[in-house]
Each structure stands twice: as C-alpha cells, then as structure tokens.
Amino acid sequence: MSNILTLTQEIQALIKYIEINKRGDLDWFTIKPTNKEGTHWQGKCWYIHELVKYEFNFQFDIPATYPTTAPEIELPELDGKTAKMYRGGKICLTIHFKPLWAKN
C-alpha cells in the first residue's frame, strides 16, 4: 500500500510540475509509464542551444527500493559520448561525479 501511495504522490507531483512548465512555456520533456505497475517510464527531453533543438529519448525503471534508491535515467543515444554516463547511456547522479558536473 505504501508503494502505491508513494507512486500516486510522485505522479501527482510530476503532473503539476509539467502543468507549471507548460503554462510558463518552459516545458522540456514528455513522459509516460509503459507498464501498468508504473515501474518503467519512457519519454523525450529536449534542449535548445544556439537556436538548435536537440531531442533525446530517455527511459528509466523505478527500483524496488524506491524512494531510498533513485532511478537511473538512461539516454541511449548519448551512450559513450560523455564521461558523465555509464552502462548504456545511464546518467550518473552520485556524488563521485560532482566534480564533472561542476566543470562541464
């Protein structure tokens, strides 16, 4: 029951975040669950740099130990293109990568 409540709260927060971004013309991603349990998610994210829009597919699985363990976001198209990624385009968000995020 607790996991269902947590998932419901997370989805409500995500919906609100997307609504706020759309109202302010600040949206930068779309997302949807791809299974009925809500454990696998896919979407698109985009970034505009020097008037060029870069768009990428992303996906992640909600770990069984969520929310203690954060999901690993995967951008398969960027696999191996930056030091901030590992294992199939997953973005490393742990503290040991903080120096890389700070300087790049």
| CATH number of the domain where residue 55 is located | 3.10.110.10
- 4 in a domain, yes or no? no
Instruction: Let me know if 74 is exposed, middle or buried by CB neighbors in 10 A (0-12, 13-18, 19+).
Output: buried
Q: Per-residue confidence of the chain (104 residues) as pLDDT tens digits?
A: 466 667 788 889 989 999 999 999 999 999 999 998 888 999 999 999 999 999 999 999 988 888 788 888 898 888 877 766 666 777 766 655 555 555 55
- 18 in a domain, yes or no? no
The residue from 89, 92, 96, 97 that is catalytic is 92
Report the distance separating Cα 65 and Cα 67, nearest Å: 6
- 13 in a domain, yes or no? no
Q: What is the pLDDT of residue 10?
A: 82
- 83 in a domain, yes or no? yes
Q: What is the pLDDT of residue 65?
A: 87
- 10 in a domain, yes or no? no
Q: What is the pLDDT of residue 5?
A: 66
Q: What is the pLDDT of residue 99?
A: 55
Q: Which range of residues forms the domain containing residue 74?
A: 27-103
How far apart, in Å, do the first and last CA atoms of the chain sit? 41
92: annotated active-site residue: yes
